[in-house]
Amino acid sequence: MGQTEFFTYLSSFVIIVLAVAIADLINSLHRLIRARKRVTWHPLPLMMALLATIAVISEFFSLWWEFDVTDITMMELLGVLSVPGLLALFAYSVLPDEVPPEGLDLWTFYMEERRVLCALLGLAFVCDVVRAAQGAVDENVLASEIVWYFLLLTPAFFIPLLLISFTKKPLWQWIGVLGLLAVNGQSLLFWELSVES
C-alpha cells in the first residue's frame, strides 16, 4: 500500500466520525429552530455549538499532520482517534437532542451540561497534547518549542474551562465561553490546505 492509499485508509474513518458530529450539530439546531416557540433561547449554548463546530473542523485540518505516517500500531491509532472521538462526543452533547412538548430553556440545559462539556473538551485537549508531544518526538522537534507552546496554551485553555465548570454567575460563563472561542478560534486563521503540483 502506498502512502497516499495509507493516508486515505486511515483518514476515512476519522472523517466519517467528524462528519457525523457536524451533522448532529446541524440536526440539533434544526430541531431547535423547528420548535422555536417552545424554546427559551440563550446565546451561550449556541456559542458552545459554534465552538464545537470550530473544534471539529480544526481536527479535520489536523488530519494532514496526524496521518503523515508510513506505519501505525493499534495503540498509536487509538491515540490518534482519541481526540476526534472526544470532540465528536462534545459536538453530540452541546445542544439538546429533543425539545420536549412542555418546552426547553437553553440556559438551564447549558448549566446542567456544562461540566460534561468541559470534561470532554479538557480530555480532548490532554489527548491532543500527548499526541502533539509524540509527533514532536517522532519528528525530532525541539522540546523547548513544544513546551513553550503548551505553557502558553494550557492556561489559556483550562482557565476558561474551570470558570465554566465551577461558577454559576452568567458573567463568568460569558468570560469562559468567549475565552474558549478565542483560544480555539485562532485555528481559523492558521489552517490551510494546499495541493502541490
CA–CA separation, 144 and 152 (whole Å):
12
| pLDDT, tens digit, 9 for 90 and up, residues 138-147 | 666 655 666 6
Q: Residue 196 falls within a domain, yes or no?
A: no
Q: Is 195 part of any domain?
A: no
Pick from 75-79, 97-101, 160-164, 190-194: least confident = 190-194
CA geometry: angle 65, 24, 153, nearest 5 deg: 40
pLDDT band at 7 (very low <50, low <70, confident <90, very high): low
Q: What is the pLDDT of residue 66?
A: 59
**In the predicted structure, residue 193 carries a pLDDT above the cut 60:** no
Instruction: Say which residue, 81 or 35, is predicted with more confidence.
Output: 35
**Rounded Cα distance, 8 and 10, in Å:** 6
Predicted TM-score (pTM) of this structure: 0.86
| Phi-psi region at 140: left, alpha or beta (left = phi > 0; alpha = psi -120 to 50) | left
Q: What is the mean pLDDT of residues 134-141?
A: 62
Q: Is residue 119 part of a domain?
A: yes
Q: Tens digits of per-residue pLDDT, 153-176?
A: 788 889 999 999 999 999 999 999
Torsion angle (degrees, nearest 10) of CA 111, 116, 119, 124: -120
Is pLDDT above 70 for 93?
Answer: yes
Cα–Cα distance, 104 to 41 (Å, whole number): 9
Q: What is the pLDDT of residue 65?
A: 63
What is d(CA 47, CA 40) in angstroms, rounded to the nearest whole number? 15
Residue 40 is classified by DSSP as E
pLDDT at 77: 77
Q: Does 197 map to a domain?
A: no
- Residue 27 forms part of a structural domain: yes
Q: How many domains does the chain have?
A: 1
Question: In terms of residue numbers, what domain contains 94?
Answer: 3-190
